[in-house]
A and B are shown apart, each in its own frame.
Chain A
Amino acid sequence: DAKTTQPNSMESNEEEPVHLPCNHSTISGTDYIHWYRQLPSQGPEYVIHGLTSNVNNRMASLAIAEDRKSSTLILHRATLRDAAVYYCILRSRGRNFNKFYFGSGTKLNVKP
């Protein structure tokens, strides 16, 4: 299964944009890139996903490199409620599609 690499932690100031990177150099052509986040003492929640094109939703934007070997989750204006662990996950079509592989993620700290 393709692996992802993320920084252990990042820090941001409230109201400023945050760029969370993810490297996935062994991604295959049919792997989807998903982002989930886990707030303290809660289960993970879906943030965004994409395949090849950049994606936007009400929570965040996802920028995918042209060669798909990396991606960046963008929070346009961080709030204190965005402090969480962010996981970048590759989902492969096929029999392992429903098995999420969570790495260690990036712990985002938002300073007021």
Chain B
Amino acid sequence: NAGVMQNPRHLVRRRGQEARLRCSPMKGHSHVYWYRQLPEEGLKFMVYLQKENIIDESGMPKERFSAEFPKEGPSILRIQQVVRGDSAAYFCASSPFSAPSSYNEQFFGPGTRLTVL
């Protein structure tokens, strides 16, 4: 059973370009979470999605960032007009359900490391 997959693993963009980060959740998981990690810091929650719905985007910057999780295909985190401050590791996690059960763990992918030149 493959784990959470993210691609690309490394992405280099110039200022002003767009970055698209993809996340395929574990099989059977319908909930996806995106986190951002700046160097030497812990992960910061960005957004929580179910299929075709954004449940909580309270951690998303107000501009340039968007996320989707279509009915078919991976979840996409899109960053428009990237700036140097967007350089970070972006992690995706998935879970099978959202009910507050103590067994509802989040399984993390290996991350995409975005570098903005």
Interface positions of A (Cβ within 8 A of B): 32, 41-46, 49, 51, 87, 91, 93-95, 97-105
Q: Which residues of A contact B98 (CB under 8 A)?
A: 97-98
Q: Would A46 and B105 count as touching, CB distance under 8 A?
A: yes
Tell yes or no: B27 within 8 A of A by CB.
no
Residue of B nearest to A89 (CB): B42
B108, A102: Cβ atoms under 8 Å?
no
Task: Provide the main secondary structure of the chain A interface.
Answer: loop
Number of interface residues of B (CB under 8 A): 28
Which of A32, A51, A99 is close to B48, meaning CB atoms less than 8 Å apart? Answer: A99
The interface centre, meaning the residue of B31, B95, B111 with most chain A CB atoms within 10 A of its CB, is B111
What residue in chain A is nearest B44 (Cβ atoms)? A102
- Chain B, residues 16-48, CB within 8 Å of chain A (1/0): the string is 000000000000000101010000011111001
* Chain B residues whose CB sits within 8 angstroms of the CB of A104 once the complex forms: 41-42
CB distance from A88 to the nearest CB of B (A): 11
Most chain A Cβ neighbours within 10 Å, of B33, B104, B107, B108:
B108
Instruction: Using known A-B contacts A42-B111, A43-B108, A104-B41, determine if residue A32 contacts B102 with beta carbons closer than 8 Å.
Output: yes
Which of chain B's residues has its CB closest to A107's CB?
B40
Report the bound CA distance from A66 to B29 in whole Å: 35
**Does B111 contact A102, Cβ atoms closer than 8 Å?**
no
Residues of B87-111 at the interface with A, using a CB-CB cut-off of 8 Å, are 91, 93, 95, 98, 100, 102, 104-111
Return B28 CB to nearest CB of chain A, in Å: 17
